Structure 1
Amino acid sequence: MQVLPLVVLDVQDAIDQPVWADKNNPDYVKAIQKLLAHWRRNKWPVLHVKHDEATPTSTYHTHGPWNRIKADVAPAGGEPVLIKHQNCAFVDTELDRQLKALGAKSFVLTGVVIHNSMDATIRTGKALGYHIILPKDATTAVSVTAPDGRLFDAQTVYDLTLAILGQEYAEVTDTQSLIAGME
Protein backbone atom coordinates (compact mmCIF):
# COMPACT_ATOMS: atom_id res chain seq x y z
CA MET A 1 0.00 0.00 0.00
CA GLN A 2 1.30 3.46 -0.88
CA VAL A 3 2.05 5.76 2.04
CA LEU A 4 -0.65 8.42 2.32
CA PRO A 5 0.42 11.15 4.75
CA LEU A 6 -2.09 13.41 6.45
CA VAL A 7 -1.08 17.08 6.46
CA VAL A 8 -2.68 19.47 8.98
CA LEU A 9 -2.12 23.07 7.84
CA ASP A 10 -2.24 26.25 9.97
CA VAL A 11 -4.74 24.98 12.56
CA GLN A 12 -3.54 27.32 15.27
CA ASP A 13 -5.21 29.34 18.00
CA ALA A 14 -4.91 32.33 15.63
CA ILE A 15 -7.82 31.05 13.55
CA ASP A 16 -10.21 31.51 16.49
CA GLN A 17 -9.62 35.26 16.72
CA PRO A 18 -12.43 37.69 15.73
CA VAL A 19 -10.95 38.50 12.30
CA TRP A 20 -11.63 34.86 11.33
CA ALA A 21 -15.01 34.61 13.13
CA ASP A 22 -17.38 34.14 10.20
CA LYS A 23 -16.24 30.64 9.21
CA ASN A 24 -18.69 28.74 7.04
CA ASN A 25 -17.76 25.36 8.52
CA PRO A 26 -17.12 25.73 12.25
CA ASP A 27 -16.95 21.93 12.65
CA TYR A 28 -13.84 21.56 10.47
CA VAL A 29 -11.74 20.74 13.56
CA LYS A 30 -13.99 17.76 14.40
CA ALA A 31 -13.38 16.37 10.90
CA ILE A 32 -9.63 16.81 11.31
CA GLN A 33 -9.81 15.06 14.69
CA LYS A 34 -11.55 12.06 13.06
CA LEU A 35 -8.87 11.89 10.41
CA LEU A 36 -6.09 12.20 12.99
CA ALA A 37 -7.60 9.40 15.07
CA HIS A 38 -7.82 7.14 12.00
CA TRP A 39 -4.26 7.90 10.88
CA ARG A 40 -2.84 7.42 14.36
CA ARG A 41 -4.70 4.15 14.88
CA ASN A 42 -3.17 2.86 11.66
CA LYS A 43 0.26 4.34 12.46
CA TRP A 44 0.26 6.31 9.21
CA PRO A 45 2.35 9.48 8.87
CA VAL A 46 0.97 12.80 10.05
CA LEU A 47 2.68 16.11 9.29
CA HIS A 48 1.74 19.40 10.91
CA VAL A 49 2.46 22.73 9.26
CA LYS A 50 2.56 25.79 11.51
CA HIS A 51 2.48 29.33 10.16
CA ASP A 52 4.93 31.77 11.73
CA GLU A 53 4.03 35.20 10.38
CA ALA A 54 6.53 38.07 10.60
CA THR A 55 3.84 40.79 10.53
CA PRO A 56 3.24 41.82 14.17
CA THR A 57 -0.45 42.64 13.57
CA SER A 58 -1.23 39.15 12.24
CA THR A 59 -3.03 36.71 14.53
CA TYR A 60 -0.42 34.21 13.28
CA HIS A 61 2.54 36.40 14.37
CA THR A 62 5.51 34.24 15.32
CA HIS A 63 5.69 35.67 18.83
CA GLY A 64 1.99 36.41 19.21
CA PRO A 65 -0.27 34.91 21.86
CA TRP A 66 -2.26 32.80 19.37
CA ASN A 67 0.58 31.20 17.40
CA ARG A 68 0.48 27.71 18.92
CA ILE A 69 -1.17 24.75 17.21
CA LYS A 70 -4.69 24.22 18.54
CA ALA A 71 -4.73 21.69 21.37
CA ASP A 72 -7.56 19.79 19.61
CA VAL A 73 -5.21 18.79 16.78
CA ALA A 74 -1.81 19.04 18.49
CA PRO A 75 1.03 16.80 17.31
CA ALA A 76 1.38 13.49 19.10
CA GLY A 77 4.01 10.78 19.25
CA GLY A 78 6.80 12.65 17.51
CA GLU A 79 4.72 13.87 14.56
CA PRO A 80 6.83 16.48 12.79
CA VAL A 81 5.94 20.16 12.81
CA LEU A 82 7.10 22.07 9.75
CA ILE A 83 7.32 25.85 9.98
CA LYS A 84 6.18 28.05 7.11
CA HIS A 85 6.44 31.80 6.64
CA GLN A 86 4.49 32.14 3.37
CA ASN A 87 0.95 31.17 2.41
CA CYS A 88 2.18 28.02 0.61
CA ALA A 89 3.38 25.10 2.73
CA PHE A 90 5.92 24.12 0.06
CA VAL A 91 7.78 27.47 -0.03
CA ASP A 92 10.96 27.41 2.09
CA THR A 93 9.81 24.44 4.17
CA GLU A 94 10.67 20.77 4.47
CA LEU A 95 7.26 19.57 3.24
CA ASP A 96 8.37 18.35 -0.20
CA ARG A 97 11.46 16.65 1.27
CA GLN A 98 9.42 14.99 4.03
CA LEU A 99 6.81 13.70 1.57
CA LYS A 100 9.50 12.34 -0.74
CA ALA A 101 11.28 10.69 2.21
CA LEU A 102 8.01 8.90 2.97
CA GLY A 103 7.71 7.79 -0.64
CA ALA A 104 4.42 9.66 -0.93
CA LYS A 105 2.97 10.46 -4.33
CA SER A 106 -0.32 11.52 -2.77
CA PHE A 107 -1.32 13.15 0.48
CA VAL A 108 -4.44 14.27 2.34
CA LEU A 109 -4.57 17.99 3.10
CA THR A 110 -6.64 19.50 5.91
CA GLY A 111 -6.57 22.89 7.59
CA VAL A 112 -7.29 26.56 7.07
CA VAL A 113 -8.33 28.51 5.13
CA ILE A 114 -9.40 26.97 1.83
CA HIS A 115 -9.00 30.16 -0.23
CA ASN A 116 -5.57 31.11 1.08
CA SER A 117 -2.89 28.74 2.40
CA MET A 118 -4.83 25.63 1.45
CA ASP A 119 -5.32 26.88 -2.13
CA ALA A 120 -1.66 27.93 -2.52
CA THR A 121 -0.43 24.60 -1.13
CA ILE A 122 -2.76 22.54 -3.32
CA ARG A 123 -1.83 24.35 -6.52
CA THR A 124 1.90 24.10 -5.81
CA GLY A 125 1.61 20.47 -4.73
CA LYS A 126 -0.15 19.65 -7.98
CA ALA A 127 2.60 21.45 -9.95
CA LEU A 128 5.17 19.35 -8.08
CA GLY A 129 3.38 16.19 -9.22
CA TYR A 130 1.43 15.24 -6.09
CA HIS A 131 -2.11 13.85 -6.05
CA ILE A 132 -3.86 15.79 -3.29
CA ILE A 133 -6.95 14.53 -1.52
CA LEU A 134 -9.01 17.29 0.05
CA PRO A 135 -11.74 16.34 2.56
CA LYS A 136 -14.00 19.35 2.21
CA ASP A 137 -15.38 19.09 5.73
CA ALA A 138 -11.83 19.33 7.15
CA THR A 139 -11.37 22.93 6.00
CA THR A 140 -13.23 26.21 6.16
CA ALA A 141 -13.47 29.69 4.61
CA VAL A 142 -14.18 33.20 5.77
CA SER A 143 -15.79 36.05 3.86
CA VAL A 144 -13.71 38.03 1.39
CA THR A 145 -14.07 41.66 0.39
CA ALA A 146 -13.18 42.43 -3.22
CA PRO A 147 -11.15 45.52 -4.16
CA ASP A 148 -14.38 47.19 -5.32
CA GLY A 149 -15.97 46.65 -1.88
CA ARG A 150 -18.24 43.72 -2.79
CA LEU A 151 -18.49 41.19 0.01
CA PHE A 152 -18.43 37.50 -0.77
CA ASP A 153 -19.81 35.50 2.15
CA ALA A 154 -17.80 32.59 3.56
CA GLN A 155 -20.05 29.88 2.08
CA THR A 156 -19.76 31.35 -1.43
CA VAL A 157 -15.96 31.61 -1.08
CA TYR A 158 -15.81 28.00 0.16
CA ASP A 159 -18.09 26.61 -2.57
CA LEU A 160 -16.34 28.44 -5.40
CA THR A 161 -12.83 27.57 -4.19
CA LEU A 162 -13.72 23.87 -3.83
CA ALA A 163 -15.31 23.89 -7.29
CA ILE A 164 -12.18 25.37 -8.85
CA LEU A 165 -9.74 23.14 -6.96
CA GLY A 166 -11.84 20.04 -7.60
CA GLN A 167 -11.83 20.52 -11.37
CA GLU A 168 -8.06 20.35 -11.80
CA TYR A 169 -5.97 20.46 -8.66
CA ALA A 170 -7.33 18.12 -6.00
CA GLU A 171 -9.61 15.18 -5.40
CA VAL A 172 -12.40 16.67 -3.30
CA THR A 173 -14.15 14.26 -0.94
CA ASP A 174 -15.34 14.24 2.68
CA THR A 175 -13.95 12.68 5.84
CA GLN A 176 -16.46 9.82 6.08
CA SER A 177 -16.00 8.77 2.44
CA LEU A 178 -12.23 9.00 2.69
CA ILE A 179 -12.04 6.83 5.81
CA ALA A 180 -14.57 4.34 4.43
CA GLY A 181 -12.57 4.03 1.22
CA MET A 182 -9.41 3.22 3.15
CA GLU A 183 -10.86 0.33 5.13
Structure 2
Amino acid sequence: MTRALVVIDVQESFRARPLWETISNPKIAHQVDRLVRLARQAGDTVVWVLHSEPGSGDVFDPALGHVRLLEELRREEGEPLVHKTSHNAFTTTNLQQLLTERGIRELVVCGIRTEQCVETTTRVASDLGYQVTFVTDATATNPIAHRDAPAGQSVADLLSDPRTLSADEVIRRTEYALAGRFATIATVDELGAAAGSRA
Protein backbone atom coordinates (compact mmCIF):
# COMPACT_ATOMS: atom_id res chain seq x y z
CA MET A 1 0.00 0.00 0.00
CA THR A 2 1.06 3.60 -0.51
CA ARG A 3 -0.59 4.85 2.70
CA ALA A 4 0.74 5.12 6.24
CA LEU A 5 -0.81 5.88 9.59
CA VAL A 6 1.44 8.18 11.63
CA VAL A 7 0.72 8.07 15.36
CA ILE A 8 2.29 11.14 16.96
CA ASP A 9 3.29 11.41 20.64
CA VAL A 10 0.56 9.25 22.16
CA GLN A 11 2.86 8.73 25.08
CA GLU A 12 2.93 8.47 28.85
CA SER A 13 4.80 11.79 29.08
CA PHE A 14 1.48 13.61 28.76
CA ARG A 15 -0.29 11.47 31.33
CA ALA A 16 2.53 12.21 33.80
CA ARG A 17 1.76 15.95 33.74
CA PRO A 18 -0.85 17.67 35.96
CA LEU A 19 -2.34 19.15 32.77
CA TRP A 20 -3.56 15.68 31.77
CA GLU A 21 -6.70 16.27 33.85
CA THR A 22 -7.73 18.86 31.25
CA ILE A 23 -7.06 16.68 28.19
CA SER A 24 -9.81 16.91 25.58
CA ASN A 25 -9.88 13.18 24.92
CA PRO A 26 -8.74 11.09 27.91
CA LYS A 27 -9.59 7.92 25.96
CA ILE A 28 -7.49 8.88 22.96
CA ALA A 29 -5.73 5.50 23.09
CA HIS A 30 -9.04 3.81 22.19
CA GLN A 31 -9.50 5.96 19.08
CA VAL A 32 -5.88 5.54 18.07
CA ASP A 33 -6.12 1.77 18.53
CA ARG A 34 -9.14 1.70 16.22
CA LEU A 35 -7.12 3.54 13.56
CA VAL A 36 -4.17 1.21 14.04
CA ARG A 37 -6.39 -1.85 13.57
CA LEU A 38 -7.91 -0.33 10.42
CA ALA A 39 -4.44 0.41 9.04
CA ARG A 40 -3.14 -3.07 9.77
CA GLN A 41 -6.21 -4.68 8.18
CA ALA A 42 -5.67 -2.59 5.04
CA GLY A 43 -1.99 -3.50 4.88
CA ASP A 44 -0.92 0.11 5.52
CA THR A 45 2.31 0.99 7.28
CA VAL A 46 1.91 2.09 10.91
CA VAL A 47 4.58 4.53 12.08
CA TRP A 48 4.90 5.39 15.76
CA VAL A 49 6.44 8.72 16.77
CA LEU A 50 7.56 9.68 20.28
CA HIS A 51 8.72 13.10 21.45
CA SER A 52 11.97 13.12 23.38
CA GLU A 53 13.96 15.86 25.09
CA PRO A 54 17.11 14.17 26.43
CA GLY A 55 18.67 15.90 29.41
CA SER A 56 15.65 18.14 30.06
CA GLY A 57 14.80 16.53 33.37
CA ASP A 58 11.09 16.70 32.64
CA VAL A 59 8.51 14.16 31.47
CA PHE A 60 9.99 14.17 27.95
CA ASP A 61 13.42 13.17 29.20
CA PRO A 62 13.84 9.47 28.31
CA ALA A 63 15.82 8.95 31.51
CA LEU A 64 12.61 9.38 33.54
CA GLY A 65 10.81 6.54 31.75
CA HIS A 66 7.73 8.34 30.43
CA VAL A 67 8.81 8.45 26.76
CA ARG A 68 6.86 5.35 25.77
CA LEU A 69 3.48 4.63 24.20
CA LEU A 70 0.39 4.93 26.38
CA GLU A 71 0.10 1.58 28.10
CA GLU A 72 -3.13 0.73 26.24
CA LEU A 73 -1.33 0.70 22.87
CA ARG A 74 0.77 -2.07 21.35
CA ARG A 75 3.34 -1.69 18.59
CA GLU A 76 3.74 -4.80 16.43
CA GLU A 77 7.11 -6.13 15.35
CA GLY A 78 8.34 -4.42 12.21
CA GLU A 79 6.33 -1.23 12.72
CA PRO A 80 8.75 1.73 12.62
CA LEU A 81 9.30 3.81 15.75
CA VAL A 82 10.97 7.20 15.46
CA HIS A 83 11.98 9.63 18.19
CA LYS A 84 11.70 13.34 17.41
CA THR A 85 12.99 16.41 19.19
CA SER A 86 11.09 19.02 17.16
CA HIS A 87 7.38 19.79 16.93
CA ASN A 88 6.96 18.08 13.56
CA ALA A 89 7.80 14.44 12.95
CA PHE A 90 10.06 15.12 9.93
CA THR A 91 12.77 17.63 10.82
CA THR A 92 14.74 15.63 13.40
CA THR A 93 13.96 12.09 12.21
CA ASN A 94 14.36 9.83 9.18
CA LEU A 95 10.57 9.73 8.68
CA GLN A 96 10.64 11.07 5.13
CA GLN A 97 13.28 8.55 4.10
CA LEU A 98 11.29 5.75 5.72
CA LEU A 99 8.13 6.77 3.84
CA THR A 100 9.97 7.25 0.53
CA GLU A 101 11.55 3.80 0.74
CA ARG A 102 8.07 2.29 1.12
CA GLY A 103 6.57 4.34 -1.73
CA ILE A 104 4.10 6.04 0.61
CA ARG A 105 2.32 9.12 -0.71
CA GLU A 106 -0.74 9.30 1.57
CA LEU A 107 -0.68 9.87 5.33
CA VAL A 108 -3.30 9.50 8.01
CA VAL A 109 -2.25 11.41 11.12
CA CYS A 110 -3.41 11.36 14.73
CA GLY A 111 -1.98 12.00 18.17
CA ILE A 112 -1.19 14.54 20.89
CA ARG A 113 -1.37 17.59 20.78
CA THR A 114 -3.91 18.52 18.13
CA GLU A 115 -2.63 22.02 17.32
CA GLN A 116 1.00 21.44 18.11
CA CYS A 117 2.87 18.35 16.93
CA VAL A 118 -0.01 16.80 14.97
CA GLU A 119 -0.94 19.98 13.12
CA THR A 120 2.70 20.92 12.52
CA THR A 121 3.46 17.47 11.11
CA THR A 122 0.39 17.75 8.88
CA ARG A 123 1.50 21.10 7.48
CA VAL A 124 5.04 19.90 6.78
CA ALA A 125 3.75 16.68 5.22
CA SER A 126 1.48 18.65 2.92
CA ASP A 127 4.36 20.90 1.88
CA LEU A 128 6.40 17.77 1.13
CA GLY A 129 3.70 16.61 -1.26
CA TYR A 130 1.87 14.02 0.82
CA GLN A 131 -1.91 13.71 0.70
CA VAL A 132 -2.87 14.02 4.36
CA THR A 133 -5.95 12.99 6.32
CA PHE A 134 -6.17 14.58 9.79
CA VAL A 135 -8.29 12.42 12.10
CA THR A 136 -9.62 14.96 14.56
CA ASP A 137 -11.24 12.64 17.09
CA ALA A 138 -8.02 10.62 17.32
CA THR A 139 -6.15 13.72 18.49
CA ALA A 140 -6.17 15.38 21.89
CA THR A 141 -5.07 18.66 23.41
CA ASN A 142 -5.44 20.89 26.44
CA PRO A 143 -6.73 24.40 27.04
CA ILE A 144 -4.14 27.01 26.08
CA ALA A 145 -3.16 29.89 28.31
CA HIS A 146 -3.36 33.46 27.06
CA ARG A 147 -0.03 34.85 25.87
CA ASP A 148 0.04 37.24 28.85
CA ALA A 149 -0.74 34.59 31.47
CA PRO A 150 2.05 34.01 34.01
CA ALA A 151 4.47 31.19 33.24
CA GLY A 152 4.02 28.06 35.31
CA GLN A 153 0.46 28.82 36.37
CA SER A 154 -1.50 26.05 38.06
CA VAL A 155 -4.18 24.04 36.29
CA ALA A 156 -6.81 25.75 38.44
CA ASP A 157 -5.52 29.19 37.41
CA LEU A 158 -5.45 28.16 33.76
CA LEU A 159 -9.06 26.99 33.88
CA SER A 160 -10.30 30.03 35.81
CA ASP A 161 -8.66 32.58 33.51
CA PRO A 162 -11.38 33.88 31.12
CA ARG A 163 -8.69 34.46 28.49
CA THR A 164 -7.81 30.74 28.30
CA LEU A 165 -8.66 29.11 24.98
CA SER A 166 -10.63 25.91 25.60
CA ALA A 167 -9.47 22.61 24.14
CA ASP A 168 -12.66 22.41 22.05
CA GLU A 169 -11.93 25.82 20.58
CA VAL A 170 -8.32 24.85 19.84
CA ILE A 171 -9.51 21.75 17.97
CA ARG A 172 -12.15 23.69 16.04
CA ARG A 173 -9.61 26.32 14.97
CA THR A 174 -7.16 23.62 13.91
CA GLU A 175 -9.80 22.02 11.70
CA TYR A 176 -10.54 25.38 10.07
CA ALA A 177 -6.84 26.07 9.49
CA LEU A 178 -6.08 22.68 7.93
CA ALA A 179 -9.22 21.84 5.93
CA GLY A 180 -8.89 22.49 2.21
CA ARG A 181 -5.34 23.77 2.62
CA PHE A 182 -3.18 21.12 4.22
CA ALA A 183 -5.44 18.12 4.86
CA THR A 184 -8.76 16.41 4.64
CA ILE A 185 -10.49 16.35 8.04
CA ALA A 186 -12.01 13.00 9.01
CA THR A 187 -13.22 10.99 12.01
CA VAL A 188 -12.39 7.44 12.99
CA ASP A 189 -15.95 6.37 12.17
CA GLU A 190 -15.73 7.90 8.69
CA LEU A 191 -12.49 6.07 7.95
CA GLY A 192 -13.96 2.86 9.32
CA ALA A 193 -17.01 3.22 7.09
CA ALA A 194 -14.81 3.92 4.07
CA ALA A 195 -12.73 0.82 4.84
CA GLY A 196 -15.89 -1.24 5.05
CA SER A 197 -17.05 0.01 1.65
CA ARG A 198 -13.70 -1.00 0.14
CA ALA A 199 -13.85 -4.50 1.57
TM over 0.5, shorter chain: yes
Looking at structure 1, the residues matched to 52 and 32 of structure 2 have their Cα atoms a distance apart, in angstroms, of 21
Partner of 2:160: none
Aligned to 2:191: 178
Q: Deviations over 1:71-90 (max 9, x none)?
A: 32231122110111111100
Q: Which residue in the other structure is 2:127 paired with? A: 127
Q: CA deviation at 1:55?
A: 5.5
Give the structure with higher Rg (CA).
2
Tell me the CA shift for residue 36 of structure 1: 1.1
Moved >3 Å (runs of 4+):
none
d(CA) in 2 for partners of 1:55, 1:146: 28
Q: 2:175 aligns with which of 150, 162, 170?
A: 162
Q: Which amino acid aligns with 2:35?
A: L
Is 1:51 equivalent to 2:64 in the alignment? Answer: no
- Letter paired with 2:171: Y
Q: For the aligned residues, what is the CA RMSD?
A: 1.5
| Residue 116 (structure 2) aligns with | 116
2: CA distance between counterparts of 1:41 and 1:129? 25
Shift, 1:28, TM fit: 2.1
Conserved 8 A contact 1:24-1:158: no
Aligned mates of 2:143, 2:78 — CA distance in 1:
35
User: Does the alignment pair 1:12 with 2:14?
Assistant: no
Q: Could you say what secondary structure the match of 2:176 adopts?
A: helix
> Which residue identity lines up with residue 16 of structure 1 in the other structure?
R
8 Å Cα contact 1:9-1:50 kept in structure 2:
yes
Aligned residues of 2:29 and 2:70 also touching (Cα < 8 A): no
Question: 2:95 corresponds to which letter in structure 1?
Answer: L
Q: Distance in 2 between matches of 1:165 and 1:133?
A: 10
The answer (yes or no) to whether the contact 2:19–2:142 under 8 Å persists in 1 is: no
Residue segments in structure 2 that go unaligned for 5+ positions in a row:
150-162
**Corresponding residue SS for 2:123:** helix
Q: TM-score, normalised by structure 1?
A: 0.92
Moved more, 19-28 or 6-15: 19-28
Does 36-45 or 131-140 show the bigger shift? 36-45
Whole-angstrom CA distance in 2 between matches of 1:68 and 1:164 = 30
